[in-house]
Amino acid sequence: MDAGLVYNSWPKFAESWVPENMLTRAPMWRNFFENDAYLTLMTITATWLLYYVPVWLASLHQCGSMTLLSFALWLTNELRRVPK
């Protein structure tokens, strides 16, 4: 696969930040393995995360998201018990 030849403009994909034909294949699961635009975007994203984001910042981000998820689940559980 020559995914690097699909879009030769960087950092954008042609004129947009997200490729327009990113999820065009049917069935949907084929996009994750066969769509050049999707694979190019995911490769750039993974590379950027691995080489440019400090580990402490990524860990802090994940801790914040787990805190938010825990709070949302707790709140949903509490609201379910409120009498109607």
pLDDT of residue 77: 94
Beta-bridge mates of residue 16: 13
Residues 44 and 83 in one domain: no
Cβ neighbors of 11 (< 8 A, separation 6 or more) are 17, 44
Of the pLDDT bands very low, low, confident and very high (cuts 50, 70, 90), residue 1 is low
Do 25 and 66 sit in the same domain of this protein? no
Residues 40 and 61 in one domain: no
71 close to 47: Cβ distance less than 8 angstroms? no
Model pLDDT for residues 7-39, shown as the tens digit of each residue: 777 778 778 888 877 888 888 888 788 888 888
**69 plus 30 within the same structural domain:** no
- pTM for the complete prediction? 0.52
Confidence band for 70, pLDDT divided at 50, 70 and 90 = very high
Q: For residue 76, what are the domain limits? A: 54-84
Domain count, the chain: 2
